[in-house]
Amino acid sequence: MSNVIAVVNHKGGTGKTTTAINLAAGLTRYSDVTSSCLVIDMDPHGCATSTLLGKLDGAPPARSVFDVLRRAITPQDGIASTIYDENIDILPSNPSLESMAKTQITDRLAKVVDALSTSYGWIIIDTPPNLGVLTQNALVAADYALIPTQCSGLAVPSLHQMKTLIERVQERQNVWLQLLGVLITQKDGRTPLQRQVRRELGQVFQAGDIFRTIITSNIKIEEAPANFQSIYAYDSGCLGASLYRDWIKKEFLKKHQRLEKLKVEKREAAEAGALAATTAEVVAEE
């Protein structure tokens, strides 16, 4: 079964796509879980799609996640190989995905992910900068939410809304969704903001939910997608590569392992509870 991660933040330009694609590439390299990875691009702008398919100005893909969501094609038929990494496939975006955003359907992607979950070790979902239907579909389909945020005081207050949406999805549609963590990105090495931003983040999230690693601003991180490469393939020795690599190895995978354990315990408790309730019902009937 796949581990499904939705990369979310309704603020624009916080590093969602950059983190999603470098996380995907990092997981195929550094995780013990089956190395194959699927990226699902739920942003109609399709930045992840352009990078992974190697087409910056070309026509949008003929078959996309939108066709899968509207059930015109099967999930398997929507998938494309990437030039970005041989172990990463993509369910690409298309501008027409915008029309899905106008519906009220929030559980369609979960069914698509279910159908694909035996084929990939990891499924990473990139999302648009809003709290609408496309982001909600990602959260309903995911095991984990990962929130990249900029190192700016202005970025923090709006995260209350993100947290509220995650809690609403947990209550109503996906009890198994867990917050994987908040990743601070694009910190300018010169600003002393880090402590203040951490303090402010601490008012919205628990301290353990904020990753210690900070992905500082690094020109190579910006250049890599224009070359259709992950940061590790583009320049494995640069600061950006070592930051993402260290974050994945030292924090992401360990946190994921801890939360997986918690999930198993929660499932077992739920099953034991259900069994006890059934037994009580049978006894009452006798």
State yes or no: residue 18 binds ligand ATP (CB under 6 A). Answer: yes
The H-or-E segment that residue 147 falls in is strand 144-150
Site for ligand ATP in 154-213 (CB under 6 A): 185-186
Q: How many CB atoms lie within 10 A of CB 41?
A: 31
State yes or no: residue 13 binds ligand ATP (CB under 6 A). Answer: yes
| Nearer CB in complex with ligand ATP: 32/57 | 57
Site string for ligand ATP, 118-137 (x = CB under 6 A): -----------x--------
Task: Tell me the closest approach of the beta carbon of residue 71 to ligand ATP, in angstroms.
Answer: 26
Count of residues engaged in binding ligand ATP, rule: CB under 6 A:
17
Task: Tell me the closest approach of the beta carbon of residue 180 to ligand ATP, in angstroms.
Answer: 16
Residue nearest to Mg ion (CB): 17
CA distances from 151 to 14, 61, 189, 206, 228 (A): 9, 34, 10, 17, 26
Helix runs in the chain, H state only: 16-30, 47-53, 65-69, 75-78, 108-116, 133-141, 159-172, 194-204, 219-226, 231-235, 239-246, 253-285
State yes or no: residue 22 binds ligand ATP (CB under 6 A). Answer: no
Interaction partner, residue 197 (Mg ion, ligand ATP, none; CB < 5-8 Å by kind):
none
Interaction partner, residue 215 (Mg ion, ligand ATP, none; CB < 5-8 Å by kind):
ligand ATP
| Nearer CB in complex with Mg ion: 42/201 | 42
The H-or-E segment that residue 213 falls in is strand 210-216
Task: Tell me the closest approach of the beta carbon of residue 207 to Mg ion, in angstroms.
Answer: 27
Which of the ranges 30-38, 138-146, 151-159, 215-223 carries the binding residues for ligand ATP, by CB under 6 A? 215-223
- Please identify which residue in 2, 6, 8, 16 interacts with ligand ATP, judged by CB under 6 A: 16
Strand, coil or helix: 225: helix
State yes or no: residue 14 binds ligand ATP (CB under 6 A). Answer: yes
Task: Tell me the closest approach of the beta carbon of residue 275 to ligand ATP, in angstroms.
Answer: 44
CA distances from 71 to 64, 74, 76, 241 (A): 11, 7, 12, 38
Q: How many CB atoms lie within 10 A of CB 81?
A: 12
What's the CA gap between 133 and 131, in Å, rounded? 7
Site for ligand ATP in 29-48 (CB under 6 A): 43, 47
| Nearer CB in complex with ligand ATP: 75/135 | 135
- Please identify which residue in 222, 265, 268, 281 interacts with ligand ATP, judged by CB under 6 A: 222
Judge residue 239's burial from the number of C-beta atoms within 10 Å of its C-beta, 0-12 exposed, 13-18 middle, 19 or more buried: middle
Q: How many CB atoms lie within 10 A of CB 145?
A: 28
- List residues near ligand ATP by CB under 6 A: 12-18, 43, 47, 129, 185-186, 215, 217-218, 221-222
